[in-house]
């Protein structure tokens, strides 16, 4: 679990804060850009239009970031359904709605944690995409209107799977297995939350302590509201002592061996992460 990104131990907190402005974010190659959408059948209804909001109204919406809370956002009804392999990036802040044409519930910024925001698409309707959000509560979702420009959409074949019971992480790309490793997961008092989520950001500390790369997810600890002053974000990162792998010992983060971290460092942001118990 992260504090600022609270899996950082207290002695590393100052380093993490200094790194905030110096993130290395690996977000450039999210598969093929802007995959074609099926044409709307002739005679079918026009897409529902969004509720219009002024700039002042948008500014009052909760921000859908790892630091934010989106209490009115609908929960994901299909926690263990595979994602669709599409990821979406707003090039400017976009409003998130409870349903197509429904009430606004949040605002999704173009960037967070120092890099572009990429979120996975989990459902589609004409003119609208439902996406996973990185804010609390866990498994928050919302609908984004596709009209008006300001969006980039890409296809992404990467899948990161974590089986908590087996302490096993597996990475595939388009069905091709890139590797599978024993990992450490959250202990009983601070378990790693299960369900579908995504890679939110990639951070390379200038002076790494326990891990040269930290990969926050779109999840938070369900048992710890904050840690070391941060939002309790759960993530993937390395660990210097291999004896932890195969055990439940963390505050909620998933500790991975060096070989796994090297592969994970090539996975684009927004990629699917499925955590099962």
- pLDDT(27) > 70: no
Q: What is the distance between the alpha carbons of residues 44 and 38, in angstroms, rounded to a whole number? A: 13
Residues 170, 248, single domain; the answer is yes
Residues 67, 173, single domain; the answer is no
Q: What is the distance between the alpha carbons of residues 239 and 213, in angstroms, rounded to a whole number? A: 10
79 lies in some domain? yes
Residue 21, φ and ψ in degrees, nearest 5: -90, 0
127 lies in some domain? yes
70 lies in some domain? yes
Residue 40: band (very low, low, confident or very high) from pLDDT cuts 50, 70, 90: low
196 lies in some domain? yes
Residue 250, φ and ψ in degrees, nearest 5: -95, 175
Residues 149, 258, single domain; the answer is no
Residues 120, 209, single domain; the answer is no
Cα 94 to Cα 9, 69, 142, 195, 225, distances in angstroms: 34, 16, 11, 25, 27
Residues 202, 145, single domain; the answer is no
Residues 234, 268, single domain; the answer is yes
Of 104, 134, 99, 138, the closest CA to residue 120 belongs to 134
33 lies in some domain? no
Question: Which of these three, 98, 123, 155, is where a domain ends?
Answer: 155
Classify burial at 17, counting beta carbons within 10 Å of its beta carbon; exposed 0-12, middle 13-18, buried 19 or more.
Answer: middle
Q: Tell me: the pLDDT tens digits for 228-261?
A: 667 999 999 999 999 999 999 999 999 999 999 9
**Sheet architecture: strand order including 254-256:** 214-220, 233-238, 254-256
Residues 103, 168, single domain; the answer is no
Mean pLDDT of 197-216: 95
> End-to-end alpha-carbon separation of the chain, Å?
17
- pLDDT of res. 36: 55
Number of separate domains in the chain? 2
CATH number, residue 232:
2.40.440.10
Classify burial at 10, counting beta carbons within 10 Å of its beta carbon; exposed 0-12, middle 13-18, buried 19 or more.
Answer: exposed
Q: What is the distance between the alpha carbons of residues 86 and 155, in angstroms, rounded to a whole number? A: 5
Mean pLDDT of 253-274: 98
Q: Tell me: the pLDDT tens digits for 138-195?
A: 999 999 999 989 999 999 999 999 999 999 999 999 999 999 999 999 999 999 999 9
Residues 223, 253, single domain; the answer is yes
Of 121, 158, 117, 112, the closest CA to residue 272 belongs to 158
Residues 142, 201, single domain; the answer is no
Tokens found for residue 46 = 């026009």
Residues 132, 164, single domain; the answer is no
Q: Tell me: the pLDDT tens digits for 48-103?
A: 999 999 999 999 999 999 999 999 999 999 999 999 999 999 999 999 999 999 99
Q: Structural domain of residue 142, as residue ranges?
A: 55-155
Question: Which of these three, 155, 179, 209, is where a domain ends?
Answer: 155
pTM, two decimal places: 0.87
Region of poorest pLDDT, from 27-41, 99-113, 169-183: 27-41
- pLDDT of res. 35: 58
Question: Which of these three, 107, 122, 155, is where a domain ends?
Answer: 155
Residues 151, 163, single domain; the answer is no
Residues 102, 208, single domain; the answer is no
47 lies in some domain? no
44 lies in some domain? no
């Amino acid at each position: 679990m992260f504090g600022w990104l609270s899996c950082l131990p207290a002695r590393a907190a100052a380093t993490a804060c200094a790194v905030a402005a110096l993130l290395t974010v690996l977000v450039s190659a999210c598969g093929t850009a802007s995959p074609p959408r099926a044409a709307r059948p002739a005679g079918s209804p026009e897409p529902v239009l969004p509720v219009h909001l002024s700039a002042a109204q948008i500014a009052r919406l909760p921000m859908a970031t790892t630091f934010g809370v989106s209490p009115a956002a609908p929960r994901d009804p299909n926690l263990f359904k595979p994602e669709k392999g599409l990821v979406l990036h707003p090039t400017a802040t976009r409003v998130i709605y409870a349903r197509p044409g429904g009430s606004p519930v949040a605002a999704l910024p173009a960037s967070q944690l120092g890099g572009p925001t990429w979120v996975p698409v989990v459902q589609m309707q004409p003119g609208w995409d439902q996406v996973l959000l990185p804010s609390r509560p866990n498994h928050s979702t919302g609908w984004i209107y596709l009209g008006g420009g300001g969006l980039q959409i890409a296809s992404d074949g990467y899948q990161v799977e974590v089986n908590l019971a087996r302490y096993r992480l597996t990475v595939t790309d388009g069905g091709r297995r890139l590797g599978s490793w024993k990992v450490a997961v959250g202990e009983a008092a601070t378990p790693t939350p299960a369900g579908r989520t995504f890679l939110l950001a990639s951070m390379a500390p200038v002076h790494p302590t326990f891990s040269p790369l930290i990969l926050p997810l779109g999840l938070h600890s369900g048992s710890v509201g904050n840690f070391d002053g941060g939002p309790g974000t759960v993530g993937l990162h390395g660990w210097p002592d291999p004896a932890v792998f195969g055990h439940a010992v963390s505050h909620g983060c998933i500790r991975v061996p060096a070989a796994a971290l090297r592969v994970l460092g090539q996975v684009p942001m927004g990629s699917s992460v499925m955590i099962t118990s």
